[in-house]
Homo-oligomer: A and B are copies of this chain.
Amino acid sequence: MIAGVEVTPLKIVSTPGGDVFHGIKANDDGFCGFGEAYFSTIQPSIIKPWKRHNRMTLNLVVIVGCIRFVVHDDRAGSPTQGLTESYVLGPHTNYCRLTVPPRVWMAFQGLSDTHSILLNVTDIPHDPKEVDRRTLGEIDYPWGIQ
């Protein structure tokens, strides 16, 4: 697994009339401070291209639908430099939190028939100056293969 990336299984607590889905606690592994919590929606088959946060750690939880996250490590000196990995997450099949450390590239794709929704709990508030972007083709990944 790419150095610093973590996949943490999360509990679903069955409750009459509607369940409770754990997200992240202040004393969990992967938590390194609170900056912001926001949602991103993604339409079926759409791919949101590569982004790299230079200071922010992401904690991603998919609460609706199903999303494929692909992470790519091009950090100089990283023990996993050059590695690309993917994780398919959703509330019904693989309810986990994905932690992505700073300076790792990430892109994601909606795999559900309807839209999917992720929660991102970050350690710093949104700052466009700490984000780098690449087009989809700039980092090789076989998106068409499920």
In the complex the two chains form, is B63's CB within 8 Å of A39's CB?
Answer: yes
A35-82 contacts to B (CB < 8 Å): 35-43, 46-48, 63-64
A3-26 contacts to B (CB < 8 Å): 15, 17-26
| Whole-angstrom CA separation of A22 from B120 in the bound complex | 10
A63-B63, A64-B64, A125-B26 given; A19·B41 CB < 8 A: yes
Residues in B with CB closer than 8 Å to A39 are 20-21, 23, 63, 119
A90 CB–B CB distance under 8 Å: no
A27 CB–B CB distance under 8 Å: yes
A106 CB–B CB distance under 8 Å: no
In the complex the two chains form, is B46's CB within 8 Å of A17's CB?
Answer: yes
Main secondary structure of the interface of A (DSSP, over half): strand
| Whole-angstrom CA separation of A116 from B22 in the bound complex | 16
A64-B117, A125-B26 given; A18·B36 CB < 8 A: no
| Whole-angstrom CA separation of A21 from B126 in the bound complex | 13
In the complex, 27 of the A-B residue pairs with CB atoms within 8 angstroms, ordered by the A residue number, are A17-B110, A18-B41, A18-B42, A18-B43, A18-B46, A18-B115, A18-B116, A19-B40, A19-B41, A20-B39, A20-B40, A21-B38, A22-B38, A23-B36, A23-B39, A23-B119, A24-B37, A25-B36, A26-B35, A26-B36, A27-B125, A34-B34, A37-B119, A37-B121, A39-B63, A63-B63, A64-B64
